[in-house]
Amino acid sequence: MTTTAKLMTPKEYIESLRKMNTRVYMFGKKIDNWVDDPIIRPSINCVAMTYAMAQDPQHKDLMTVKSSLTGHTINRFTHLHQSSEDLIYKIKMLRLLGQKTASCFQRCVGMDAFNAVFSTTFEVDQAHGTDYHENFKKFLTMVQDNDFTVDGAMTDAKGDRSKAPHEQSDPDMYLRVVERREDGIVVSGAKCHQTGSINSHWHIFMPTIAMSEADKDWAISFACPSDAEGMYMIYGRQSCDTRKLEDAAIDVGNVKFCGQEALVILDHVFIPNENIFLNGEHEFTGMMVERFAGYHRQSYGGCKVGVGDVIIGATALAAEYNGVEKASAVKDKLIEMTHLNETLYSCGIACSCEGCATKAGNYQIDLLLANVCKQNVTRFPYEIVRLAEDIAGGLMVTMPSEKDFKSDLPVGREGETISQICNKYFATREGVSAEDRQRVMRFLENICLGAAAVGYRTESLHGAGSPQAQRIMIARQGNIQGKKQLAKNIVGIKE
């Protein structure tokens, strides 16, 4: 009897995507070979790194773990956390992958969905006598044994945000059940901003807000394959994305890796009963949303820190190449960047250390500290990027293109080419080539302002909920009444 599930190699992962009939649209066209599309492929490379690292003996303890469902050795991205140590290992794993890719590797959201849906379905079954928890365990066992990538889909289009789902003029503004049958349900709607959606084998769909009795047709959670009939995806636009179509790799910045978002549409998609995890039990929508959000807000204390490590390194290189690395002001700014980055990591570790077991048996982070973690992530990466831009200088955004640095077109009075002129005037300290300086500047441009900024700066603000969402949870979890009582006890105020 084997004790190891199938751990896919990067090559096997990429080939598995080719076998799927995932429907992808971009720039107004259907993309038939989306796996090899130059705009999309870097995001696939990012996911592939999660498979590569699991094959590396050096990172075996971090990247793989024994399944609580089967006892098999599985990729940690498909794991149900069994202890605070598991939660800490998750953060360390995410930081490592951020360091390896300097981008979004896209499997966190599925892992966070697994843990939220597992514990919520257990409590739904206790209250209603349903079979959702058993459904989910069978589904997750299949995912673990095949090492699938699963997208967690929560964010609805929402339409008029002042109105509940049942009040919308277009009921598809929130994903909903349009037909209930003996063998399953038919759903319609969409999920927005879906990280890694087209690079996933399966999707788990969850409600996006707490709902009332009137919204029970929208109170649904289920799984379906990414190429299900009636499901298709429209690729999200990123700043500077068409640079990937040019024959100028340096101008891309991070040529091998990038993140990926898409609009995921479900047009009357059938979901069989065995893949349903919530179906009208509206009073549990808030629990599922809060638990998923908590896990995902914890995640940002790992992945964004790993990317931050690379940004700090690139900024230090830019300072060195510019010849200012010994300036006290530059040193102080690099110290501040490191301080901010390690503070984010500390928050991710703290909410993991304070984790506790759910009724279902898997471990949940401390929700208050997870929301504090994400609240800091909405701020600190912006300051880290600002300091990176400050140290790098204006050349980061005014430098001629790679083609100019290689052009043989004569323009100078002595017959100098564009290439010679660019390399002359953008030369720097002795021992540093103009090309190396160009590479670092373009990387920083990409991470601060380009396609990579989607997966670092902007996602730091809006991913896992915008800042006010965390502040609401901090207010809810902060126990102000308990703190007031502490003060009364100290100063001698009696009820």
Return the CA Rg of the chain. Answer: 24
List alpha helices for 197-327, DSSP H: 249-252, 285-322
Q: What are phi and psi of 429, to 5 degrees?
A: -65, 155
In terms of DSSP bridges, do strands 184-191 and 262-272 run parallel, antiparallel, or are they unpaired?
antiparallel
**CA–CA separation, 491 and 347 (whole Å):** 32
Q: Is the dihedral of CA 156, 162, 168, 170 positive or negative?
A: negative
Nearest Cα residue to 367 out of 140, 193, 194, 116: 116
In terms of DSSP bridges, do strands 220-225 and 176-181 run parallel, antiparallel, or are they unpaired?
unpaired
**CA–CA separation, 495 and 486 (whole Å):** 13
**CA–CA separation, 136 and 148 (whole Å):** 15
Q: Is the dihedral of CA 306, 307, 310, 316 positive or negative?
A: negative
**Binding residue per annotation — 195?**
yes
Tokens of 248: 């100028």
Q: In terms of C-beta density within 10 A (0-12 exposed, 13-18 middle, 19 or more buried), how is residue 256 classed? A: middle
Residue 15 CB coordination number (10 Å): 12
Question: Which residue has 């898409």 as its token pair?
Answer: 262
Question: What 8-state DSSP symbol labels residue 454?
Answer: I
How many helices (DSSP H) and strands (DSSP E) are in the chain? 19, 14
Nearest Cα residue to 360 out of 132, 144, 133, 114: 133
∠ CA 360-364-370, rounded to 5°: 160
**Residues across the chain:** 495
Cβ atoms of 189 and 206 within 8 Å: the answer is no
Residues forming the active site: 104, 108, 195, 261, 296, 300, 303, 459
List alpha helices for 323-413, DSSP H: 328-353, 367-377, 380-392, 395-398, 402-406
Residue 23 CB coordination number (10 Å): 20
CA end-to-end span of the chain: 65
**CA–CA separation, 256 and 344 (whole Å):** 26
**3-state secondary structure at position 211:** coil
**CA–CA separation, 244 and 252 (whole Å):** 6
**Residues flagged as binding site:** 195
**Residues flagged as binding site for FAD:** 195
